[in-house]
Amino acid sequence: MRDSGIESHAKTVFRHSLMTLGTRVGIVLVNIPTSILVARLLGTEGQGIYASAIVFPTVFASIGILGVDAAHTYLLSGRRATLGQINGQTLRLLAAFSAIITPAYLVFLRFYEGASEPALVAVLTLAAAAIPVLLAKYFAVALLLGLHRIKWFNLGNTLQAILLLGLMCLNLFVFDGGPRGAIVAYLLSELAIVVLALVVARREAAGRPLLESPPPGLLRRSLVYGIQGHAGNVLVQFTYRFDMFLVLSMVGLAAQGLYSISVILAEKLSHIPQSVQVVLFPKLSSLPPEEANRLTPRVLRNSLFLTFLSGIALYLLSRPLLLLFYGTEYLPALQAFQILLPGIIVLSIAKILAGDLSSRDKRLYHTIASGAGFAANLGLCFAWIPRYGIEGAAWASTVAYSIQSAFMLWFFMRFSGSSLSESLFVRGEDFRTYGELLRTLLRRRG
């Protein structure tokens, strides 16, 4: 019975992950034209301004939320708190976090040496409005995942991408709004998933209170759970994005524009592990540890295998894709793009195991692994960016991702008792599962 239970859980995770991945692929097909429009019409410097105005507020919002969004997913998925209680706490925290983080971001801009050009300063200041929007989106995503509403989560992301493309076309072709208009388009599109989460919340309430006063202890429990892994999430954000801060300040705005395209293209590969993580975390949070110990290795090795195959294909197609989408102006980004690919493949281990450790309430170990990766990234960026430019930043990221994943894998094996081969190398049973899923999909299509 236990084997059949794990098989059922695995098929559910794979099926929902495939659904999420299919949605992400569709979103990529929408986002690529958006990225091409911005890159070609704004040029390398305009692309650098737009990329900075997206990345900087995102870093501040993801740091300032203190991991409470992950806590909400954990509490909802395990029915440790009601929907009304979570919604009541969300409104209070959204107002409090916005009032603290937005001024902190504006103070940062005054002292950040990389933001010296007037055009860049103006757009980065406008981007402060993104912080409350991003916080609302993070809480909305946490609600959808905590309720296991994967289809609605995918629908929200799809609507966001389509809306962004439409608004960006209006900005660039009708209003000629430049980077400022691009930021406004981005902000409006991010609200799509927030609106969708409100619709789902009203449906889920079904006569019960949609808003309740949070009970004593809920905030403390959320903060304790969130902060345990929050330092890790902060370090992850720095590891993923700190190189862009340093490229801008050390090499300049044009290099920032080139490097942002390398990152945009390389991170398309991360859609596979991210799709799995979205489904796996709430699923594991509802399972006993012994079942999680058997489910995670199976999901991990298959995700790594599929990411590896996709990475090889993306590497072989990297030059024609870059020329086709962005033109010869962005060809200097090719080498950095190729260097980042192995790091993104290895990073899939850390992404998936972050969900496993979070479901075990072992987020502190995620923080340790992230700290090791960030320390490596920071030191290597300062050593290599002045000497090798954006290629040095790419190598620093790839090494950091590998170190972070190695730590995460070691912690996971220690807690679960899983072996290295069980966690990393696909088996015959996995290919049989592929065949069964394919036959199921074909029957549904028929």
Taking residues 247-254, report their average pLDDT. 79
Q: How many residues does the chain have?
A: 446
pLDDT at position 302 is 85
CA distances from 116 to 57, 122, 260 (A): 17, 10, 19
pLDDT at 1 over 50: no
3-class SS shares of the chain: helix, strand, coil, % to 5: 90, 0, 10
343-363 residue pLDDT tens: 999 998 988 888 788 777 777
For 309-338, write each residue's pLDDT tens digit.
888 988 998 898 888 877 788 888 899 999
Interval 249-260 mean pLDDT: 80
Does residue 436 or residue 348 have the better pLDDT? 348
Query: Taking the alpha carbons of 43, 332, 310, 237 in that order, is the dihedral positive or negative?
Result: negative
* pLDDT score, position 6: 53
- Give the pair of three-digit tokens for residue 65: 């939320």
Percentage of the chain with pLDDT > 70?
A: 81
Let me know: does 360 contact 289? Beta carbons within 8 Å.
Answer: yes
Can you tell me which residue has the tokens 């660039």? 172
**Domain boundaries defined on the chain:** 2-445
Contact predicate 194/201, CB 8 Å: no
Residue 36 above 90 pLDDT? no
Residue 54 CA to residue 130 CA, distance in Å, equals 8
Of 90-94, 138-142, 167-171, 196-200, which gets the smallest average pLDDT? 167-171
What does the pLDDT read at residue 442?
64
pTM over 0.85: no
Long-range residue pairs from 113-118, CB within 8 A, at least 24 positions apart, any chain: 113/249, 114/245, 114/248, 114/249, 115/52, 117/253
Q: What is the pLDDT of residues 173-227, one digit of tens each?
A: 777 767 778 888 888 888 888 988 888 888 887 777 778 888 888 888 888 887 7
The model's pLDDT over 96-126, given as tens digits with 9 standing for 90+, comes to 999 999 999 888 888 776 556 666 778 888 8
Confidence of residue 8 (pLDDT cuts 50, 70, 90): low
